Chain A
Amino acid sequence: MSFAAIGAGLAVIGAGIGIGQVGGRAMEGIARQPEASGKIQTAMIIAAALVEGVALFGVVVALIS
């Protein structure tokens, strides 16, 4: 159980960094080009979802074991 928790935690760290990068860059993009904010938001959500997907695999492996 504790190993699984550590695994889930590590997965969350990775996803946190990833989603942070995605969100931060998206905000830079919006600040630079506010008129493109709609497109940037959609692309950001998709990228964040993909990063999150990887983290979720980790979480699921942690849950199963």
Chain B
Amino acid sequence: MFLEINPLVKPDIGLIVWTTITFLILLVLLRKFAWKPILGAVKGREESIKESLASAEKAREEMKRLQSDNERILQEARQERDKMMKDARDIRDKIVSDAKADANEQAEQIIASAKEQIDNQKMAAITELKNQVAEMSIEIAEMILRAELDDKEKQSKLVDNHLKNFKLN
């Protein structure tokens, strides 16, 4: 040998042969019994994850649609309710105002009739009072006339007085 090779880097035929055989057999066995099932399972799982993600996305979309539907229905219901409330309020207001107007009218009527009655009674009272006052005045005048016209002097004096007054005119 020209060159003494370090035993570290001296190839050994036996080991090369055994390594080749072992590696190739191991490759075949592992490919059949390990890598195919493992990679297949992993791939299957990845696909199922992808699928379930997609279906979840779809479900979310559906949900969103349903939700917007719900929202719309709710909105409509709310509007309906508002409308009904408004109607009811209107009716109530109308009833109240009607009742009020009615009551007012009645009250006015009552008041008017009461006033009329009061007036009538007042008139009657006044008439009666007038009559009484007239009677009393006549009686008083009668009494006064009787008293005044008892003696002649007084009569003539009265007449004179009156005449004097007339003369001034």
Contacts of B9 in A (CB 8 A): 60, 63-64
How far is it, in angstroms, between the C-alpha of A64 and the C-alpha of B9 when the chains are bound?
7
- A60 nearest CB neighbor, chain B only: B9
9 example contacts (A-B, Cβ-Cβ < 8 A) are as follows A60-B9, A63-B6, A63-B8, A63-B9, A64-B3, A64-B5, A64-B6, A64-B9, A65-B3
Contacts of B6 in A (CB 8 A): 63-64
Contacts between chains A and B (CB distance < 8 A), count:
9
Which residues in window 38-65 of A have CB below 8 A to B?
60, 63-65
A-to-B contact residues, CB < 8 Å: 60, 63-65
B-to-A contact residues, CB < 8 Å: 3, 5-6, 8-9
* Shortest Cβ distance from residue A49 to the other chain B in the assembled complex, whole angstroms: 20
- A62 nearest CB neighbor, chain B only: B6
How far is it, in angstroms, between the C-alpha of A40 and the C-alpha of B5 when the chains are bound?
40
If A64-B9, A65-B3 are given as contacts, then 7 extra A-B residue pairs at C-beta distance below 8 Å, sorted by A number, are: A60-B9, A63-B6, A63-B8, A63-B9, A64-B3, A64-B5, A64-B6
Contacts of A64 in B (CB 8 A): 3, 5-6, 9
How far is it, in angstroms, between the C-alpha of A64 and the C-alpha of B8 when the chains are bound?
9
How far is it, in angstroms, between the C-alpha of A50 and the C-alpha of B3 when the chains are bound?
28
How far is it, in angstroms, between the C-alpha of A28 and the C-alpha of B5 when the chains are bound?
43
* Shortest Cβ distance from residue B21 to the other chain A in the assembled complex, whole angstroms: 26
How far is it, in angstroms, between the C-alpha of A64 and the C-alpha of B6 when the chains are bound?
6
Question: What 9 A-B pairs have minimum CB-CB distances, sorted nearest first?
Answer: A63-B6, A63-B9, A63-B8, A64-B9, A64-B6, A64-B5, A60-B9, A64-B3, A65-B3
How far is it, in angstroms, between the C-alpha of A60 and the C-alpha of B8 when the chains are bound?
10
How far is it, in angstroms, between the C-alpha of A63 and the C-alpha of B4 when the chains are bound?
10
